[in-house]
Amino acid sequence: MIWTAVGRSFAACAVTLPIALAVGVPTAHAEFGDTHITGTGITKTLDCSGGTLNVMGTSNQIFAMGTCYAVTVMGSGNVIVADTVVNDITVYGYDQTVYYKNGEPILWDRGRELGMTNRLGRVPA
């Protein structure tokens, strides 16, 4: 019985490994131009330069000038104000505030899905 289970596992690997190598394994990594801010109590003004702004932490205040491809925020109590967001704004956590002035991004509030309160929206330019 043990040899049957080992044989089946080996056969499954022998079939799936060549397929995975032929197709390729997707990787997730930062793109050139993305901005990552990690910490607590950081106040910063920056230029998005068309990249994605990633903010992780607590009580950060970030002012993003120029055009951001996307904004992703994780943690609690962060305040982000962006000039322009092209693709999406995704928020995890609670008590997050993300405002944008221009663009038509998709607003995805993952915290609200779990009953947490976040603020996302457009403000006058």
Domain boundaries, the chain: 35-122
So what's the pLDDT on residue 125?
A: 80
Residue 26 banded pLDDT, cuts 50, 70, 90: very low
So what's the pLDDT on residue 17?
A: 45
Segment 98-105 shows an average pLDDT of 97
Which carries the bigger pLDDT value, residue 111 or residue 39?
Answer: 39
Closest CA to 49 of 68, 31, 30, 27: 68
> Helix-strand-coil percent breakdown of the chain, rounded to 5?
20, 50, 30
So what's the pLDDT on residue 35?
A: 94
Rounded to the nearest 5 degrees, what angle is found at the Cα of 60, between the Cα atoms of 56 and 96?
75
Bridge-based pairing of strands 35-40 and 43-47 is: unpaired
